[in-house]
Structure 1
Amino acid sequence: MSKAVEKQIEDLRETIRHHEYLYYGLDAPEISDADFDLLMRELKSLEAEHPELITPDSPTQRVGGKPKEGFAKVAHSRPMLSLDNVNSEDELRDWDRRVREAAGANADIGYVCEYKLDGLSMALHYEQSSSGSVLARGLTRGDGTIGEDVTGNVRTIRSVPLSISATRLKKAKLPGNFEVRGEVVMPIKAFFKMNEERESQGLSAAANPRNAAAGTIRTLEPNIVAQRRLDFYGYFALTPDGVNLFEEQSEALEALSDAGFRVNPHREAIKSFDKLMEYINRAEEKRNDLGYEIDGVVVKVDSAQLQRRLGYTGRAPRWAVAYKFTARAGVTQVEDVRVQVGRTGKLTPVAVLTPVQIGGTTVGRATLHNADEIERLGLLIGDYVSVERGGDVIPKIVSVVEDKDHPRGHKKFHFPTHCPVCGSDIVKTEGEVDYRCVNIDCPARLLESLLHFASRKVMNIEGLGEAVVTQLLESGRVRSIADLYHLDVETLAAEKKTDKKTSTGKDILVGELVARQIFAEIEQSKKNPLHRVLFGLGIRFVGERTAQLLAEEFGSMDALMAAPVEELERVNEVGPRVAQAIREFFDEEKNVALVEKLRKAGLTFTAEKRRKSSELEGLTFVLTGTLPNLSREDAKAKIESAGGRVSGSVSKKTNYVVAGEEAGSKLDKARDLGVKVVDEAGLLDLLTK
């Protein structure tokens, strides 16, 4: 092993960690997304050539390992307590008075104020390593005394350092072993994207980012957590046994920032009560412009010595309090109802309001969600309504106001029959509340369509991330998924045209090296099997598994496109809703035209039809533990190619549980229910019958 290669890999890791900190910790990137991706690909390539040099704290290892079957319970170093709330200036003044009385007449009281992030509490434990410290464990708050070990999921959060160098530790005055407590939040942009993805899969939308973050961190598959783009903000630095590392809270926040953690930049040390209220008022004014949700301000006594003297009540510290913002609401008139087309094709009615001030922000629009919500409200255009901006990000109409000062409207809203963006027919599946545009190339949904098409589990076109795809759309290089296959190196690396009236600059889309790599990835994607092409079309309810079943059942794109609903429903796991969605997709002329363009581009449109004589036909398997030779993905593929299906949970309908080493609770449940259990050899024997 060459020492030069080892040094090259470590230098590359440090460079990537530096840019991760700038991007995720400080929101101040120095390089483009494409250049960052290039660094990461170089590191992955070197580690693939030298797997013995892969370390757990390498930036490539943020998502690793198999999905867990549950989370272990671990006791906290000291309880993670809730804070008492105050809701007015008078209540906060009473709290301030109690602090000063308990501290004594001669005490020098100082407070540290931070925005109260609307997320979930997390404890991160770091342990000393040969080069500094590494992330050892991440725990949820749980019941405050015992949390759940979600380390695998925490590792996917980019603003959580996997390792901290000795140099950073020295600068931050942190020991090798320490604990960081903080808040995990979901940025509003990531929240919107997650809800669009859930709606495209027929799932209910999350109510707010806090619920979404809490649900995400307890997801058993780290890959899913990584896609949600959570953030972590630190606010406590403790010894491994839960003692404050610094004598001032403000000093602890600076130390965490120096160590590479994201710390809320709006923190402030304050002495007087008047300055405290000024800070709170400024925070309430800024809450709509932060990119993440806050629901108040946290006020803490700065001195750790004074914190110890003040102590705790039965459930909360006496030295800290949460000032909660008041609910944001107002009454205004609905001037019109218009329809927006989301990135998944969903048509959402939006009320156009007479502008009203709510919580320091002018609100001129509010979502109406769907036709059922309009019916529930009994809303007419011209009505006066109560609008609220609470824990939910989007302003929403709570109710229609009807009294002598607020007369009713007179015009009923009707959904359009065609997409207001592309003119395609819209569809409404029986039993559902939403209207949808199913044209995958509709300009309103094209960004999402392209990102899905290029993603790893679909066509796997590495390098086509959101930044590059956005530029391709804005520059006019791409107006359809099929246009990807008309790109060449020169087009990708060409200068982006600018309007001379508005700009004199010229931007390069990507460098020539990256352009060549993207072009090679696009060409390689033509060889992907039919089921990936089907998955890439973004047909509603057709995920990776369903696409594979359809490809194996019909054997060609043409046969699938011609299949009536009744024939589609005969496919294993394809029910009426899925069959109807497939039929609606291929009944749209613009989608058929896109498919023909992809055919001309040379994509794979045929597949080997699945044999129907296997004894595994229709049987349900559950995989648990680690198999000696087969990965879980390989075992799943073999079962499915033989006509079986793989489920994530054991029930009376399960036919076989395939158990490997360290099999968990699923094996116990299988034994309780009398389900047959086989090992890897037993599975391979079944597959050969």
Structure 2
Amino acid sequence: MTDSQTAAQRIAQLRSELDAHNYRYYVLDEPSVPDAEYDRLFRELKALEEEHPDLVSAESPTQRVGGAAAAAFGEVRHEVPMLSLGNAFEEQDLLDFDRRVREGLADQLPAGDLFGGGAEVEYSCEPKLDGLAVSLLYENGRLTRGATRGDGSTGEDISANVRTVRNIPLRLQGEGWPAVLEVRGEVYMSKAGFDALNARQMESGGKTFANPRNAAAGSLRQLDPKITASRPLEFCAYGFGRVEGGSLPDTQVGILEAFKAWGVPISRELKRVQGVAGCQAYYADIGERRDSLAYEIDGVVFKVNRIDFQRELGFRAREPRWAVAHKFPAREELTELLDVEFQVGRTGAVTPVARLKPVQVAGVTVSNATLHNMDEVARLGLMIGDTVIIRRAGDVIPQVMQVVSERRPADARPVRVPEHCPVCGSQVERTQLVKRAKGRESVSEGAIYRCVGRLFCQAQLKQSIIHFVSRRAMDIDGLGDKIVEQLVDKGLVKSPADLFTLTYEQVVELEGFADLSTRNLLSAIADSRRPSLARFIYALGIPDVGEETAKLLARALGSLARIERALPEVLTYLPDVGAEVAYEIHNFFADEHNRKVIEQLLDETHGIALQEEGELAAEFAACATLADFIAKLDIAGIAATGAKKLAESAGDLEGIVALSQDWLTLSVSKALNEKAKQSLRDYFADPQRVARARAIEAQLREFGMHWQSERKVAEGLPLAGQTWVLTGTLEAMSRDVAKDKLESLGAKVAGSVSAKTHCVVAGPGAGSKLAKAQELGVAVMDEEGLLALLAAHGLSA
């Protein structure tokens, strides 16, 4: 077989594969490979066609754009073709583009200087949005048609759908626009909008989207415009097509600024620069700020700014010679799943981790990726040996996004959870979810598998100790992961309490320790013996109890003794503590081993002395009402309204119990309907339920939360009820210190921004949180403003 025949076969294979990918990407909105893989195939085809020009055909993907229009939509013929852009992947590609531009404009540009420096070309710069290219036709200022790019010559008529995109003007503003104006741009979805859409889809049991681009494309190409209208789509203009009955400015930037004046949205990052050096600086700047932008981008677009220069340079078969897309390193790549291993965490959770054939993603070699849990493995349909798409964005742990099912090998193996712990050999059991509602319990399988070995399992013991000594917990400086591993492996530490009986002789023998480092570690352990109640609760590692919940428990109940004895029903009176978390807290303190460790920590030998213990917080005094109490019993058929009527008629718990046992009186009561009356009677016919209700009431009374308890006057805190968010770098103090000071003024400091956020404090390097705050219209304060606020309330940095 000749080289020409081999090239022809490979070209045919590449064309077929690219056509299939184009169809999935542009028509089905279900791409099966990442952009980087598509680009590699395209470049290979283009190189082969350049070597064998006699094999080039008009049907080749290199000669056209995208895919055919979907039959479900009407066709739109683009009078001015909607071409795609050439790509620059390396800096040299950009330099070559600039060189070709200057060579093509040699007769138009002024001569270079005596030292050989050529004249610079002015470029327009803007981020390359990752969405769906569309055309908007305005006739006499009114939007008359919307179309997709399709194959560049023919697109789909999506007029009804584009009219639902809220920032697309249905009528141009101002004056001076041409009688016929075709605006071209990108319909996309912001990161916040994408997250919100997927959350709604999950709640309703609908299909979730892999990324904002797929979500935008799938939303815009709905046959029902009402669905499109419900999606958080946005539009950004980047160019023009057909123009009649008027003229546009003579530069790319000038045209886009005119669009803005006429009410058409353009990129806020639009910038005019001189020469390729200006392009390089812009690319670097946007690259650094990429994660802080409110939307996904995959590169930067550079265009020769002067329109007459654009006309002079002209077009190739599928792309203009006057524009290029300088791509960022790929964040998605294809690789092979070599195996799935299972790691054991501090709570015993056995978690699958993907072991991958090493691959470069966004400049980093990736060989492992998170799989979250077995439900995620099932959702992906993952098998060992599969080709998978992995994604890495910013500092986020690489994640398996999708299986390329058509590449599955014949010997692919299913992923199975080990029956025994890979660390200690104990049984691995699937967690059960217990849902309590209307006086009944239902049990279902959870997504988590756990090793039952508890602290017998070295992995759980090590992770528990690492969490216990961490900075936000007991804050024992110098006890890093490797030192904890040595202490556990040598049998010196078998529970957190053992840390406080370590001797000089034991520590100095550890690898890496000498006299000074040993004394420093023992000193740090001694200094940690006076933690706040909140830190201590967090350090215990109660499942589902993070730092904020630990602070709430400490502030609300005031003492370890109350927290230890609190019934789950009583805990649900605290804000943001649901039934499942309440039972986790209660079960933790009911466990005999946990009680023993806590007793050891607090005895004279180990010497932990809790700080900031006190009385029940004032706002929780007499916080329970009889109606709330009845509703929380979850009696079938008795919700808030029925509970309120029952409380008014019966007066107290004993009156309710008596009423439930007096059928004659109950039957004529107007507080409840017949079904609810029977439910009340059945509920309190069980002596155990009566006893439980009385125990809950007794504890509410003991804690001072009972409806008959004495109310207290809560001292007003200036930021009470406000939610603040910290982002970026603070220079005068750490973010942890700033958080503590804001909380001392009554604020809740959250980790994410929402419409309910009162204020965001943004330091240098602030990223997506700042972008989301600006998008939602949340107040933003810099560090200088924070310092002034703290000083006004008597707090220094």
* TM more than 0.5: no
Give the TM-score, by structure 1 length. Answer: 0.43
Give the TM-score, by structure 2 length. Answer: 0.38
Report which of the two structures shows the higher radius of gyration computed on alpha carbons.
2
